[in-house]
Structure 1
Amino acid sequence: MQTVFIAGATGYLGRHLCSEYRKRGWHVRALVRDPGRARQLDADELISAEATLPHTLKGIMDGADLVISALGITRQAEGLAYWDVDYQANLNLLDEALRAHVPHFAYIHVLNAGQMAQVPLVAAKMAFVTSLQSASIASSVIAPSGYFSDMSDFLTMARSGRVWLFGSGAHRINPIHGADLAATAANAIARGQDWLDVGGPDVFSQSDLAKAAFAAVGKPAKITRLPDWLRKVALVLLPYLTPRRIHGPAQFFLTALGLDMVGAPHGTRHLEAHFAAITGQKLH
């Protein structure tokens, strides 16, 4: 039986990766920082360690056939910054994988990173990808467009009665469900694919997303379009006006809102059905 070591196992995608590899008959070894968050995690082994502390990683990948890292932080807390986790912690994992002679390392990145290099979160991820690709190990980089879970902000705004968009709302995205992404990533890794830009089966404009959210909550669509220069001004001012834990993720999301985030379509799960399952509305 092959063994996969999954970092970031208790996150949204990590949980789906654990389930996918268990379904495929792999022995799943999951790295968990907080065992309390590992309830109902579909894994054979739970490894409690801190990826930011290299000495805690010694030996934990021995015998593994594959390492997958979905490790990263969205909100900077506990004194940790993106460079501490998205770069250095992943580099610590890579160093241990090399020491343990693991043959393959896969990393969950972000689509269109090159167009968001000025965003600290993305810059840290890009720096790690550079290190990974130059290391003496087979590698796969999976770059998703966005997750279904990321679209919950549209539902939140729709429930409040109004969705706010920047510009025309024409920028497009094809978000993907975590289970579909886990299966697609596993297939790409099995093929030895070195890079995959990936999204879900359906492409939406931001205006389409707003309308889908209103339909899911059963309210008439009320969309206010703000001038895009406000988004650009916010990107400049947020680091000066808000704490790092707020402006860090905001910089990423505001930058992504100004781009088309469309990856190669994969998966069978549809966002409208996901919204309907959350709200209890019937699809028409």
Structure 2
Amino acid sequence: MKRVMIAGATGYLGRYLCAEYQHRGWYVIALVRNARHASPIAADQLIEAQATQSATLKGVMTGVDLVVSSVGITRQTDGLGYWDVDYQANLNLLRAAEHAGVAHFAYIHVLRAAEMAHVPMVAAKSAFVAELQRAKMTSTVVAPTGYFSDMGDFLTMAQGGRVWLFGDGSQQINPIHGADLAAATAQAVEDGLDGLDVGGPDVFTQRELAELAFASLGTAPRITFLPDVLRRIALRLLPYVAPRRINGPARFFLSALALDMVGARRGTQHLKTHFDNTLSGTTSAPVLPRSNERKNS
């Protein structure tokens, strides 16, 4: 049986990656920081290690055929920044994989990273991708457009009575559910792809996203369009007026808003259903474990 290690296994996407690979018949090893806080998770084995501390990774990848990493931070906590996690932690994983003779390394990046090189989070991720592509190992870089969970901001604004957009709201995106992204990632690896720009099955303009949010609420759309110059001013001011844990995610969000974020259309799950489930307090595509064998390292 092939063995896969999922790094970032307790995150939103990581849990779906574990479930997808277990469904495909792999022996799934979840790399977690704290096994007691990891359940429920669809993994055959849990290994405790800190990816930011290379010494804790010694020997954990013995016998592993594939490493899939979704390690990264959206909010900076514990004094760690993007270069500590999105770059260095992933580099530590890569070096450990090389030392163990792992055949393949897959990494979850972001779409249109070149156009967002000025964003600290994207810069750190891109620097790791450069290291990965120089490594003497087969690799796959998957760049998603955006998660369904990210689109919750539109629903939150609609619940507040108004959605605020920059410009004319014509930029497009096809966000993807975590389960569909996990399946697309596993298939890209199986197909031997070097990279995949990927999104969900439905393409929306930002205006259509706002309208969908209001439709889910059953209320008339109330959308205000702000001059895009305000977005650009905010990008310049954020590093000076907001703490790092806020300005980092905000700079990524504001930069992505100016771009069309459309990737190859994959998956079967639709944003309307996700919005409806969110409002009703239910979830789609549950992530259920088959077995758990805990191991501390």
TM-score by length of 1: 0.98
Deviation at 1:35, TM superposition (A): 2.6
Letter of the 1:217 counterpart: L
Letter of the 1:233 counterpart: I
**SS of equivalent to 1:105:** strand
Match of 2:82 in 1: 82
Match of 1:13 in 2: 13
CA deviations on 1:154-184 (whole Å, 9 max, x unpaired) are 1110111110111100000000010011011
* Pair 1:139-2:147 in alignment: no
Partners of 2:84 and 2:202 lie apart in 1 by 35
**SS of equivalent to 2:16:** helix
Letter of the 1:114 counterpart: A
Partners of 1:254 and 1:35 lie apart in 2 by 35
**SS of equivalent to 1:77:** coil
Match of 1:193 in 2: 193
CA deviations on 1:113-142 (whole Å, 9 max, x unpaired) are 000000000000000000000001000000
* Pair 1:249-2:249 in alignment: yes
The runs of 5 or more residues in structure 2 that have no matched partner are 282-297
Sequence identity, in percent? 64
Q: Where in structure 2 are the equivalents of 1:1-284 lying within 5 Å?
A: 1-280=1-280
Structure 1 pair 112/64, CA: closer, same or farther in 2 (3 Å)? same
Partners of 1:120 and 1:35 lie apart in 2 by 30
Deviates more, 1:109-118 or 1:214-223: 214-223
Larger relative contact order (CA 8 Å, sep ≥ 6): 2
TM-score by length of 2: 0.93
Partners of 2:92 and 2:190 lie apart in 1 by 24
Letter of the 1:140 counterpart: T
CA deviations on 1:254-276 (whole Å, 9 max, x unpaired) are 00000000001000111111111
Deviation at 1:11, TM superposition (A): 0.6
Partners of 1:246 and 1:34 lie apart in 2 by 26
Partners of 2:65 and 2:106 lie apart in 1 by 11
The runs of 5 or more residues in structure 1 that have no matched partner are none
Q: CA RMSD in A?
A: 0.9
Partners of 1:251 and 1:203 lie apart in 2 by 23
Deviation at 1:278, TM superposition (A): 1.5
Partners of 2:264 and 2:29 lie apart in 1 by 29
